[in-house]
Structures are given as C-alpha cells and as structure tokens.
Amino acid sequence: MRLDALQSPGDLRDLGPEELAALADEIRQRIIDTVDRTGGHLGSNLGAVELTLALHRVFDSPRDAILFDTGHQTYVHKLLTGRAAEFGGLRQAGLLSGYPSRDESTHDWIENSHASTVLSYAHGLATARAATGSRGRVVAVIGDGSMTGGMAFEGLNNLGHGGLPVTVVLNDNGRSYAPTVGRLSESLIRIRSNPTYMRRQRHLEGLAERLPWVGELVERGISATKAALREMFEPTAFFEALGVHYLGPFDGHDIAEMEDALTNAAEFDGPVVVHVLTQKGRGHAPAEQDPIKHMHDTGGVKPGSYTEAFTESLIKAAESRPEVVAITAAMPDSTGLLPFRDRFPERCFDVGIAEQHAVTAAAGMAMGGLRPVVALYATFLSRAFDQANLDVSLHGLPVVFCLDRAGITGDDGPSHHGVLDMVLLSKVPGMTVLAPSSYQELQQMFDDAIAFTDGPVAIRWSKSPAPHVAWDEVGHGLAARQVRTGDGSVCLLGAGKMLTAVSAAAAELAAEGIAATVWDPRCIRPLDEGMLVDAARHQLVVTVEDGFREGGFGSGVLDALASRTAAPCVSVLGVPVDHHAHGSADSLLASFGLDGPGIAATVRTRLK
C-alpha cells in the first residue's frame, strides 16, 4: 500500500497525478475505517485530503512550519508525516493524539484545538524567524469556522501591519467565506496569482507616478479601475485593506491547481491569503449528507446523557417562558441545542467561534429582559472568563451558563479537559455554581437556575452517562442532599458525577466496618451551611471533584471548615494541576485516585 510506504512528506514529490489520486482515495478510506472504530473528527479531515497533499508537496516540512487551526483537521497531516503505521491507535490512551502533538513529531509545531489562534502563532513565529535570520516559510492553515473568531482578525491585522512573509491558507468548507466565482472572476484570479504580472503592475504604477501632471491622472485611473474590479468581482477588499494580498478562490480538491497557487504565494514578500474551496466530508456519503453530525466529533448527543437532560429542560422552559433564549459558539450540535433551534429558530443564536462575544451578548440580552442560556464546553469558557466576571457578574445579570464536558473528558486530550471551570467560576463574585450528580438533578437545577434572578448561575456536567434516579433522590434550590448517614468517623463529599465514586468508596468502607456519611453537595458555590455543620462533626472530611484540586470545590470546603472550633481533618481530592494526556475518563480518574477504590484507600490512610 502506497500510504504505508511513505517515509516522509518529501516522498510525495515523486508521485504523478494518477498516483496522487489513488493515494488520496487510500487516505480517505484509512480515515473512515479508523474513525469508525475510535471516534473522532471525520468531515473536516475528509475535506482536507488534497489540500494537505498539496501543502506537503510545495513546502518542506518541518523547515517550513505548517501550522493548523484547528488541530482536529490534521489526520491527513499525521498520515503523511511518518505516523501511518500508528494511526490505528488514534485517540487511544498512550497512543496517537487526535490533535497535533509536539511529542509525536517535529512536523507538529503547535498543539491546539481552541480555534482562531493560528494567525497569532504565525505572526509570532515569522517575527522570530525574521529577527534571527532563520530560513523557511511560515504557513498557517485556517478554516472550519475559525475565521469567525475575533482572535483570527487580530492576528490577520498584525500580519498585514508587519508585512511578514506568511502564507495563510483559508480552507473554506462552507463555514467561512464563499465569494461568487464567474468567468471574469476566474480570469482575474489567474492574473493576480501570477507574481510576474504583479511585478509588472507595480512597475507600471511606478512609471505613472513619475510622469508629469498626466501621470497623476493615469495613476488615479489605474487605482480606480482596480478598486472597481475588486469590489465587483473579488472578495479582496477586506484582506487587502489590512495589507494582506489575496489569491483565490481555488478548487481545494485539485492538487495541481493548489500547488500552482501555493508556489506563487510563496514568491510574494509579504503575507498572502490563499483561499481554497473544499467539501466537508468529501468521499463519504454520510458525512457529505450530514455535515453537522460530522463537524466536531462522530459521537453526538448520547441518549440518557446529561446533555440530553439539558436539552429536554431547555425546551420545556422555553415553551412556557418566551424570554428564554440560547446562545452557543459554533457548537449547537454537541451542546444539545439542535432540537431547541428546530423548535425555536428565532431564539437560538450561534455566534461562531466567539466565546467572548457570546457571553457579553448574553449580558446585553439579560439587560433587555431576556433569559439567556449560554451553552459551551467547560474548556471553552476559559476563553470568556473576563466577560463572565466583568460583563455579567459585575452587573448582577441572570445569565445561565450551561457547561458541557466538564471535568476529565477522555480521548480529546489536554485541550478539552474541563478542569478549570470550578476554579475560575468560584472566584467570580455573585456566581452560583451547580454540579448535578444525575439526569434528574440536572433537570431540577436548570429549573432552579431559570427561576433565579439575583445573578449568574453556572451548571457544569460531564461527558459521561448520567445516572438516573427517582425524584425523591433529587434536591432542590441550593441545598445539599445527604445520601448516607455514618457513624461520625468519615464524611465524604462528592461533587457532581463524583458522587458515584464516593458512594462506591462508602460501600467498600462499610464492608470493613467504617460507616461513612455521604453528601451530594449539589451547589459548589455557595456551600450549603447544613452540609458544613454536619461535616464539622466528623473526624475526617474527604472532598472529591473532577476539576483541579487546587482552588476548587474542596479548597472552598477546607477554608469554610478551618475557621470552625475543633475543625476536622480535611483531605481534598481532585485532578492534579497539569496538562493531562488523552485516555478514557475512567482510567484517568482512577490514576488520580478518584474512583471508589482510590477514595477508600485515601480514607484508610488518613484514618491511621
């Protein structure tokens, strides 16, 4: 098989058109077969096959730095850079990451999945190379919606201002720019992408400027004609107003056409945008016909999950409360908003990859009398922490933050673990933070959050299946719920999904004659006073959370109990502060001692 025979990207330059076409087909089939087993991002990678082949045929990676934004579209890049034999272990613990990884390959310059960052990376790297005299082109591949993020425009602005020799490949797969292309436009594209023509044009303009008074009229005529054509036929005005030359659009599935465009772009001295049009999910009918399902991850919303409980609660609230609206940042599918959008299209707002805007817009909506629900992954809330703090909380606005994928998420790796939200949100004045331990708890908490009008509320839940309980096992409001009464020796507090692990530890300890009290805190902030009073009566209090152990829920309990007379011994269990690799959530939590046996072992040790 040709794919397995590739030793380096340089081997691609020896292939003819028919061999390249056959290789593209083989790559698509390899990705489809692998993702079918391991899960992952299918559509974006199938659409980038020819583009990635062209990039590696024109540029010399890793001397030429090829930077991808977002990182989930790099499966083809991995296959072409010596990792084809390992690709079957995609997203598996200890094996191949689903994102670029500097530990895996020198061809991976940046490790990223939080979108819209690559142009800033490119600006910084090109600046460093210019300062140190290093050789090699910097190439930034952006697309899959990343141009909707404000940081992308900031980077683009600075690239144009600095005039740095960076090639920006705008991978337009239907979620970026889509200019009209006609015969005249195609002719202009071919002319403008020719460096020889551009040099002659600059020479002509220079001659015109040096002519007597007639020259000024000629120069004005040239400029006016260019501007008119640009406005009529080309989407260049935006880019070139920033000092970035624009080429395109090109067929992103025509390798020869893209090679010509990329080769020409590399001859320009300053920054150049090469606009390519690709088809998301190309070559795989299910992904072509349902691009939403295959946009981020093939998993979707699982039946019986916390996310499904949120979807049901949101729709139910919206049916009786017309002021309820929902906002997300380019993820209406995996945050569970698609059914809501289908039912209430005018009340669902997808702002693109712009979390900061989403939160501040929610603040404005709340000021105007709406009840905004902001649905994000927990990891992406960190991008809008300032807005949650100063735009929402400072004004005491009743915005409801619904944070999916909180805690250790598993196979998506360090960029997706939602381990910072409890630490951050517990420091926001007036913020109420709720953590459901079951499907029914989430529904009750959402109802309570919508009814709460004194300030912002955050509900965080995990990617794992949600336990289902009877309604008499559900709390209300901000009160904690005592699950099990012990003998006063040990009190276990399990935040959110960790209640399951705490209950398992209590059962294991009970078999050894240790009767532990178990609490479901429900409200992470503010802490329930009744729970704290009861905990203070115990010899040992153990808190368990699936966020960073420093500065989160357990730290709050420790501080609250430390000031009491005869304070108990408190042991705070949580995720160590680090960037943790991908792997199953259960195995990672067990490695941190955050499963039943691990918690029980901690109790035994501390009681001694």
Cα atoms found within 13 Å of the Cα of residue 496, Cβ hemisphere only: 31
Does residue 503 sit in the same domain as residue 536?
Answer: yes
Token representation of residue 344? 């209430």
Q: Which helix (H) or strand (E) holds 51?
A: helix 49-58
Q: Give pLDDT tens digits for 547-598.
A: 999 999 999 999 999 988 788 999 999 999 999 988 899 999 999 999 999 9
Task: Give a yes or no: residue 469 inside a domain.
Answer: no
CA nearest neighbour of 433 among 332, 321, 545, 578: 545
The residues, any chain, with a CB within 8 Å of residue 53's CB and separated by 6 or more, are 12, 20, 23, 24, 76, 80, 255
The confidence score (pLDDT) of residue 432 equals: 98
* 340 has pLDDT over 70: yes
Hey, which residues does 69 pair with through a beta bridge? 142
Task: Give a yes or no: residue 132 inside a domain.
Answer: yes
CA-based Rg of the chain, rounded to a whole angstrom?
Answer: 28
Does residue 313 sit in the same domain as residue 252?
Answer: no
Which of 391, 426, 460 is the last residue before a domain boundary?
460
Does residue 456 sit in the same domain as residue 485?
Answer: no
| Average pLDDT value over all residues in the chain | 88
Does residue 451 sit in the same domain as residue 494?
Answer: no
DSSP annotation of 436 reads -
CA nearest neighbour of 574 among 561, 558, 469, 528: 558
The residues, any chain, with a CB within 8 Å of residue 303's CB and separated by 6 or more, are none
DSSP state letters, 291-317: TTTTTS-S--PPTTBHHHHHHHHHHHH
Does residue 486 sit in the same domain as residue 538?
Answer: yes
Neighbours of 427 (CB within 10 A): 12
Task: Give a yes or no: residue 331 inside a domain.
Answer: yes
Catalogue the active-site residues: 280, 355, 383
Does residue 158 sit in the same domain as residue 11?
Answer: yes
The maximal CA–CA distance of the chain, rounded, in angstroms, is: 102
Q: What is the mean pLDDT of residues 464-476?
A: 95
- Indicate the range of 145-154, 262-271, 323-332, 539-548 predicted with least confidence: 145-154
Q: Give pLDDT tens digits for 71-108.
A: 788 899 999 998 888 888 888 888 888 888 888 899 98
Does residue 569 sit in the same domain as residue 452?
Answer: no
Strands 348-350 and 324-328: parallel
What does the alpha-carbon distance between residue 385 and residue 402 come to, in Å, rounded to a whole number? 14
More reliable by pLDDT, 78 or 318: 318
Q: Give pLDDT tens digits for 370-383.
A: 999 999 999 999 99
Residue with tokens 């105007």: 368
Q: Which helix (H) or strand (E) holds 366?
A: helix 355-367
Strands 457-460 and 400-404: parallel
Token representation of residue 487? 């003998």
The residues, any chain, with a CB within 8 Å of residue 506's CB and separated by 6 or more, are 484, 486, 492, 516, 518
Q: In terms of DSSP H, where are the helices of 452-522?
A: 498-510
The residues, any chain, with a CB within 8 Å of residue 414's CB and separated by 6 or more, are 111, 579, 580, 581, 582
Hey, which residues does 525 pair with through a beta bridge? 433
Token representation of residue 78? 């991995």
Task: Give a yes or no: residue 311 inside a domain.
Answer: yes
What does the alpha-carbon distance between residue 87 and residue 30 come to, in Å, rounded to a whole number? 9
* 318 has pLDDT over 80: yes
What CATH number corresponds to the domain at position 587?
Answer: 3.40.50.920
Cα atoms found within 13 Å of the Cα of residue 68, Cβ hemisphere only: 28
CA nearest neighbour of 9 among 69, 78, 72: 78
Q: How many domains does the chain have?
A: 3
Does residue 356 sit in the same domain as residue 267?
Answer: no
Q: How far is CA 513 from the centre of its chain?
A: 46
Instruction: State the pLDDT confidence band at 167, using cuts at 50, 70 and 90.
Output: very high
Hey, which residues does 541 pair with through a beta bridge? 491, 570
* 227 has pLDDT over 70: no
Cα atoms found within 13 Å of the Cα of residue 145, Cβ hemisphere only: 20
What does the alpha-carbon distance between residue 545 and residue 384 come to, in Å, rounded to a whole number? 23
Task: Give a yes or no: residue 152 inside a domain.
Answer: yes
Does residue 63 sit in the same domain as residue 155?
Answer: yes
Cis peptide before 372 (omega within 30 of 0): no
Q: 334 vs 42, 297, 474, CA distance in Å?
A: 15, 8, 26
CA nearest neighbour of 157 among 243, 265, 266: 243
* 217 has pLDDT over 70: no
The confidence score (pLDDT) of residue 176 equals: 37
* 1 has pLDDT over 90: no
Does residue 29 sit in the same domain as residue 98?
Answer: yes
Q: 320 vs 166, 189, 251, CA distance in Å?
A: 53, 54, 48
Residue 136's domain comprises 2-179+235-277
Cis peptide before 526 (omega within 30 of 0): yes
Residue with tokens 């997706």: 416
Does residue 456 sit in the same domain as residue 520?
Answer: no
What CATH number corresponds to the domain at position 58?
Answer: 3.40.50.970
Task: Give a yes or no: residue 230 inside a domain.
Answer: no
Task: Give a yes or no: residue 282 inside a domain.
Answer: no
Provide the whole-model pTM: 0.81
* 415 has pLDDT over 90: no
Does residue 353 sit in the same domain as residue 323?
Answer: yes
Task: Give a yes or no: residue 314 inside a domain.
Answer: yes
Structural contact between residues 243 and 163, judged by C-beta atoms closer than 8 angstroms:
yes
Which of 460, 488, 512 is the last residue before a domain boundary?
460
